[in-house]
A and B are shown apart, each in its own frame.
Chain A
Amino acid sequence: MGKKRSDIYSVEIHGTQDPEKTDKEDEEEKYKDLKGNKKKSKKTEDLKKELDLDDHKLSKEELEEKYTTSISKGLTSARAAEILARDGPNALTPPKSTPEIIKFLKQMVGGFSILLWVGALLCWIAFGIQVAQGVASAFDNLYLGVVLALVVILTGIFAYYQEAKSTNIMASFSKMIPQQALVIRDGEKREVSAEQLVVGDMVEIKGGDRIPADIRLIFAQGCKVDNSSLTGESEPQSRSCDFTHENPLETKNIAFYSTTCLEGTATGMVINTGDQTIIGRIASLASGVGNEKTPIAIEIEHFVHIVAGVAVSIGVLFFIIAVSMKYKVLDSIIFLIGIIVANVPEGLLATVTVSLSLTAKRMAKKNCLVKNLEAVETLGSTSIICSDKTGTLTQNRMTVAHLWFDDQIYSADTSEEQTTQSFDQSSQSWAALSKVVTLCNRAEFKPGQENVPIMKRVVVGDASETALLKFAEVILGDVMGIRKRNRKLAEIPFNSTNKFQLSIHETEDPNDKRFLMVMKGAPERILERCSTIMINGEEQPLDRERAEAFQTAYMELGGLGERVLGFCHLYLPEDEFPDTYPFDTDSMNFPTSNLCFVGLLSMIDPPRSTVPDAVSKCRSAGIKVIMVTGDHPITAKAIAKSVGIISANSETVEDIAKRLNVPVEQVNKEDARAAVINGMELKDMTTEQLDEILINHSEIVFARTSPQQKLIIVEGCQRQDAVVAVTGDGVNDSPALKKADIGIAMGIAGSDAAKNAADMILLDDNFASIVTGVEEGRLIFDNLKKTIAYTLTKNIAELCPFLIYIIASVPLPIGTITILFIDLGTDIIPSVALAYEKAESDIMNRRPRHKKKDRLVNEQLAVYSYLQIGIIQSIGAFLAYFTVYAEQGWLPNTLLGLRVNWEDDYYNDIEDSYGQEWTRYQRTYLQWTGYTAFFVSITIQQVADLIIRKTRRNSIFQQGLLRNKVIWVGIVSQIAIALILSYGLGSVTALNFTPLRVQYWFVAMPYAILIWVYDEIRKLFIRQYPGSWWDKNMYY
């Protein structure tokens, strides 16, 4: 049993997992504990998908047998084709996407569409009945039904198109250049596309290649791989053909698909392809983690419910009223259609989509590429950001941060664009140190980069050497020239046993025939080899005092989380080492002790210069920034402090313990604002403990965490009702990215799997870009509020005519078709224009909105739009309606109760207030004039509505009437469309518009002004009496 279990490994990889710890059962228990409830533990089961891989234990012969292949000759082409047909191509199946047709149909029935379909259906039913009854105007209903159906279909197509467009941006992302692999088949080496690889193929890899499949190494020479996309560990790992560990993930003789080979060469046998690879299994896990509904989707759903609720209840109420007022059922159905059409803001969802995509475009310019339109707003409501350290908060390159020489610590400039260093460079010690730094270094600039800024040049060499090279180049300039002048005679490169690097040079001073030996390495190892130390250019004996000073400096720099290197040198005496002395690095025929210690240099991956500002912006915006990193806690804490994630004056429990000199257990945890949690601690925590940490500490750093633990942290944050944004780049991050309310993948460093799982891609990998994204997201939420308030208002002005028509039996003031012309014509551009409105105040100075309390459409918004501005608009429009009728001879009192006769096709001599008689068609034409006047009045008042919606609190004059030019484009378009409809298309009977007398355009003007004035008063009171009854009831 025990042996059997050891064959089964978890895909869960803890970067720092103790290799000896193989008691899986125990670990699984803890994991379950952490997850808490049963439902979650089922998912855990998924996560811990079994991995029954034993190929790493097999001998070459066994492997050959298992895969029926030959190590020397490879597979035959025929056999390979056979296996390819069986297993499928060696590629990851893209995450299952919803079929296009389903997506399309969803748009057809989502939102208000159902309501409109019902309206269309009712129209056709009414048409059917009327045709049977032989009513002349029956076809109007048929047309209206068709128009409604068209509206649904067109807005559906539009939304689908918008959605598809934003998906396409992504598609271009995932397209990659087809990878080639060098494979042995039929005994010959040949290049094939990596997709053609099959199990049993023999492949050759060299430095720089991407591993094309999971491979059991048969032969390896100096092979190192970068497993960071899989495990999150950034250190290169060596690979050989030896079986070193039971766990296939730990053993050295397996290389994994999609990781990269950094150096060396290797030959191996393909053991897993495509979705069967470890990466493939993890990627498929990500699709298993459910995608949460975005906050804006919830808000829109909420809003649709409100509007649909109002529409249906008013519709049904008036249907009942109409029936009980002895209207015919058929007529009542037609009223119902009118009420539905009037109540549904047909164009609004399209407008919202356009507004979101406008913002998405704006964000893309600021390096936030949004995959899912709704994620635009999600970013704005984010209350916790779980950010990676490397590359997101930091520059992702080692840079010299501090120096220690002459018994003093100097700090160096670590900004991205450094061109000079300003520390004191006059000391002789510095001259000596700079020489060691320059000479004892194997890194070189790639040629042809003379015009590139130093910090941006490409370097061949490892991270620390690169840092030193660039540092030297910045200060001394022409490092390559210096090296040429100090010719290198011998060199011992760095290795892990002696932990130092050494080289011997001629000096550039022609009079000095001595050789210079320079050495760098781990500070304690270097110090061991020294007997003197250079102080102010003078060699002084390295006594205890000096050694202590060194220790203090070393500890201090180490405490900053920096990687410290020691430097020493020795001038070889001329007599012992003449010109022709044969240096031999193997026998080390030169002294390597009693050297002269020169100084220390420490390096760190420094924070991006924009990050501290961005973090403080987050803080004032009420967003908690949590750092989640695989790095060492000390480094993590140092970076957290330098970017402000842990603010200058806050302490962790450990800090307090140190200060008070008491054990950690005695410290009151609530006193500590900050917390640095180690991944190992996190593993042993229960859900409650994690929650407690997340609640009690405002500044949290998770160090030494595995990508999987990110998922646990995200879930913990979501339990606090937070909207969580998570950044990630590795494949293993994808479940966390999926789980997060908004997953943010890194555009440069991110793996494809992470990009697939994310909602947003950060093109420059920069944390600061997230903050600008947050700002845009908050702005669009505010602006959508304005758009919706604007759109809802006129619904009342469209609805009232039907209510009055039913109750007072007046001729119909506005037709259903005309309403559609407002909803889908005049109102569209203005409501989009509101998306361009600038923020009223600093939106980054308020708390993120509460998911459940701060709704997009709240009671105040609905009530203010429906019951106040909407009513004013209706009254204004009715004034125009009564004016048109009165001036043509129908005084208001004549109109009341006139409906039945008015609509009687055979009643062609109805008398008006002046004794004139009207035929049916003459009345109808007048009715259309009434429609047009009503329409124009709504349009004119919507102009006022548009202007007042620019702000919710500030006066329009504070906001600037002309600042948002698009609003004016909206107003002009609105009026232009109305003019065209009235005068241009007034003769098209089907549209029910007529050319209108000029003065009717101005009838509703007083009410338009009233709307503006009233809203200014409302805003004035809100500003004057914050927190008052008025503020509570009138601010939306």
Chain B
Amino acid sequence: MSKEEKKPFSQTMAEWRQFVYNPRSGEFLGRTAKSWGLILLFYLVFYGFLAALFTFTMWVMLQTLSGDIPKYRDRIRSPGLMISPKPVTALEFYFNKSDSQSYAEYVSTLKQFLKSYDDSKQSKNIACTAGKLFEQNEDRAIKQACQFNRTKLGSCSGVEDDTFGYAKGTPCVLVKMNRIIGLKPEGEPHIECLPKEEGKVQITYFPDGGMIDLMYFPYYGKKLHADYLQPLVAVQLAIISNRTKEEVTIECKIMGSPNLKNEDDRDKFLGRISFKIQMSE
């Protein structure tokens, strides 16, 4: 029908202008000021009510939670492994042992990380019985933490060598197991690292054998166990190389404990970690 022919552009524009502000009826965007006022008031009340209700229901929900331990821990039954320092991008270390700038980042991260392991910070911590789980009484409001001295990390402790071996071409990487509240490892858990390319790397563990002592378990949570220090295993890699540039891939796993998984299909970091180091001269 002829009525449905396209309107000229100017008319469309005029209609729009009319819609935005209609001087005759005083309508702005199709509503008068009063109408806008009412509708805004309505939504103010409506959303105010909803916000209050949401806040209230959230509050009720949070009241059901304990501040000490989460209600459920079924999504983290087994810990992951992680390394420090963590390169910014993927888990790939690139450094030149003669260029201190190239590893300054790693060194400072390690220093920062190990600060909490300083003896001065561990005055409150106690020396626990090695090889035994350190279970503490439930009525104890503040749980005690076991000491973990940096000296246990040997040449990776940063005490003697403040470049953590990077300057010598024997970089240190700290392997740690993720904290999980209430986790009680069984057996004799220890870290075992294997280079993908055999013979290229000589690996030294601190403490010996990459042992993770059971006395550091269980963990009681951030609030109750504020001084807790998680056990570390330092891995020093002596890269045997003839060339100026060498790349090695290391895979570390937690071994020796039946309840710590390290073979999950989907989770590549559950009880294991793999990282790459490329060192040049």
Interface residue stretch chosen among B16-24, B150-158, B218-226:
B218-226
Out of B2, B65, B73, B223, name the residue touching A37 (CB < 8 Å).
B2
- Given A37-B2, A915-B222, A922-B80: A879 in contact with B178 (beta carbons within 8 A): no
Out of A883, A892, A906, A916, name the residue touching B90 (CB < 8 Å).
A906
Complex: how many Å from CA A883 to CA B76?
17
A80 to chain B, nearest CB (A): 47
Contact (Cβ within 8 A) B219 A886? no
Out of B43, B62, B80, name the residue touching A917 (CB < 8 Å).
B80
Out of A875, A906, A914, A917, name the residue touching B221 (CB < 8 Å).
A914
- Given A882-B61, A888-B75: A921 in contact with B268 (beta carbons within 8 A): yes
Complex: how many Å from CA A909 to CA B47?
38
Contact (Cβ within 8 A) A867 B43? yes
A1033 within 8 A of B: yes
Out of B71, B90, B269, name the residue touching A921 (CB < 8 Å).
B269
A1029 within 8 A of B: yes
Contacts of B65 in A (CB 8 A): 886-887, 891
Contacts of B253 in A (CB 8 A): none
Q: What is the predominant secondary structure among interface residues of chain B facing chain A?
A: loop
Contacts of B178 in A (CB 8 A): 908-909, 916-919
Residues from 13 to 58 in B contacting A, C-beta threshold 8 Å: 38-39, 42-43, 46-47, 50, 53-54, 57-58
- Given A914-B222, A915-B181: A906 in contact with B91 (beta carbons within 8 A): yes
Out of A39, A292, A887, A926, name the residue touching B2 (CB < 8 Å).
A39
Q: Mark A896-937, 1 if CB is under 8 A from B, else 0.
A: 000000000111110111111111111001100100000000
B175 to chain A, nearest CB (A): 11
B8 within 8 A of A: no
Contacts of B266 in A (CB 8 A): 921, 989
Q: Mark B94-115, 1 if CB is under 8 A from A, else 0.
A: 0000000000000000000000
Out of A39, A882, A926, name the residue touching B58 (CB < 8 Å).
A882
A1006 within 8 A of B: yes
For B68, B75, B222, B223, which residue has the most chain A Cβ atoms within 10 angstroms?
A: B75
Out of A292, A878, A989, A1003, name the residue touching B1 (CB < 8 Å).
A292
A236 within 8 A of B: no
Q: Mark B223-254, 1 if CB is under 8 A from A, else 0.
A: 10100100000000000000000000000000
The size of the chain A interface, using a CB distance under 8 A, is 46
The size of the chain B interface, using a CB distance under 8 A, is 51
Out of B38, B53, B82, B223, name the residue touching A908 (CB < 8 Å).
B82
For A875, A905, A906, A916, which residue has the most chain B Cβ atoms within 10 angstroms?
A: A916
A288 within 8 A of B: no
Contacts of A909 in B (CB 8 A): 80, 82, 176, 178
Residues from 866 to 887 in A contacting B, C-beta threshold 8 Å: 867-868, 871-872, 875, 878-879, 882-883, 886-887
Q: Mark B108-147, 1 if CB is under 8 A from A, else 0.
A: 0000000000000000000000000000000000000000
Contact (Cβ within 8 A) A914 B269? no
| Chain B residue nearest to A887 in the complex (CB) | B71
Contact (Cβ within 8 A) A918 B50? no
B72 within 8 A of A: yes
A889 within 8 A of B: yes
Count of A-B contacts judged by CB separation below 8 Å: 125
- Given A292-B1, A867-B43, A887-B65: A916 in contact with B73 (beta carbons within 8 A): yes
B70 within 8 A of A: yes
B38 to chain A, nearest CB (A): 6
Residues from 63 to 83 in B contacting A, C-beta threshold 8 Å: 65, 68-73, 75-76, 79-82
Complex: how many Å from CA A892 to CA B61?
11
A720 to chain B, nearest CB (A): 11
A1010 within 8 A of B: yes
- Given A915-B222, A915-B225, A919-B80: A906 in contact with B47 (beta carbons within 8 A): no
A41 within 8 A of B: no
Contacts of A882 in B (CB 8 A): 58, 61
Contacts of B87 in A (CB 8 A): 906
- Residue pairs across A and B with Cβ atoms less than 8 A apart, 26 shown, are A39-B2, A872-B50, A875-B53, A879-B54, A883-B61, A889-B73, A892-B58, A908-B273, A909-B178, A911-B222, A913-B70, A913-B222, A914-B68, A914-B70, A914-B181, A915-B221, A915-B223, A917-B80, A917-B82, A917-B178, A919-B269, A919-B270, A921-B270, A922-B270, A925-B75, A1033-B42
- Given A889-B70, A915-B225: A908 in contact with B80 (beta carbons within 8 A): yes
Contact (Cβ within 8 A) B267 A922? yes
B90 to chain A, nearest CB (A): 6
Contacts of B264 in A (CB 8 A): 921
Residues from 177 to 233 in B contacting A, C-beta threshold 8 Å: 178-181, 219, 221-223, 225, 228
| Chain B residue nearest to A134 in the complex (CB) | B90
B81 to chain A, nearest CB (A): 8
B235 to chain A, nearest CB (A): 16
Contact (Cβ within 8 A) A886 B39? no
Q: Mark A487-530, 1 if CB is under 8 A from B, else 0.
A: 00000000000000000000000000000000000000000000
Complex: how many Å from CA A1003 to CA B64?
13
A630 to chain B, nearest CB (A): 27
Contact (Cβ within 8 A) B46 A868? yes
Instruction: Please provide the 6 A-B residue pairs with the shortest distance between their CB atoms, ordered closest to farther.
Output: A915-B222, A919-B80, A889-B70, A917-B178, A921-B267, A909-B82
A620 to chain B, nearest CB (A): 29
B89 within 8 A of A: yes
| Chain A residue nearest to B177 in the complex (CB) | A917
- In the complex, given contacts A887-B72, A921-B270, A926-B75, what are 17 additional A-B residue pairs having Cβ atoms less than 8 angstroms apart? A868-B46, A879-B61, A882-B61, A887-B70, A888-B75, A915-B179, A916-B70, A917-B80, A918-B75, A918-B178, A919-B80, A921-B269, A922-B76, A922-B267, A989-B266, A1003-B61, A1006-B57
Q: Mark A717-755, 1 if CB is under 8 A from B, else 0.
A: 010000000000000000000000000000000000000
| Chain B residue nearest to A926 in the complex (CB) | B75
B277 to chain A, nearest CB (A): 15
Complex: how many Å from CA A411 to CA B246?
116
B52 to chain A, nearest CB (A): 11
Contacts of B219 in A (CB 8 A): 915-916
Q: Mark A675-695, 1 if CB is under 8 A from B, else 0.
A: 000000000000000000000
Out of A871, A891, A906, A1003, name the residue touching B50 (CB < 8 Å).
A871
Contacts of A1003 in B (CB 8 A): 61
Contacts of B70 in A (CB 8 A): 887-889, 912-914, 916
- Given A918-B80, A919-B269: A879 in contact with B43 (beta carbons within 8 A): no
| Chain B residue nearest to A739 in the complex (CB) | B1
Contact (Cβ within 8 A) A907 B50? no
Complex: how many Å from CA A867 to CA B39?
12
Contact (Cβ within 8 A) A914 B223? yes
Contacts of A875 in B (CB 8 A): 50, 53-54
Out of B38, B75, B81, name the residue touching A929 (CB < 8 Å).
B75
B53 to chain A, nearest CB (A): 7
Contacts of B273 in A (CB 8 A): 908
Complex: how many Å from CA A875 to CA B180?
31
Contact (Cβ within 8 A) B222 A879? no
Complex: how many Å from CA A909 to CA B176?
9
For A718, A906, A1033, which residue has the most chain B Cβ atoms within 10 angstroms?
A: A906
| Chain B residue nearest to A917 in the complex (CB) | B178
B108 to chain A, nearest CB (A): 19
Complex: how many Å from CA A905 to CA B92?
13
Contacts of A1029 in B (CB 8 A): 38
Contacts of A883 in B (CB 8 A): 61
Contact (Cβ within 8 A) A917 B180? yes
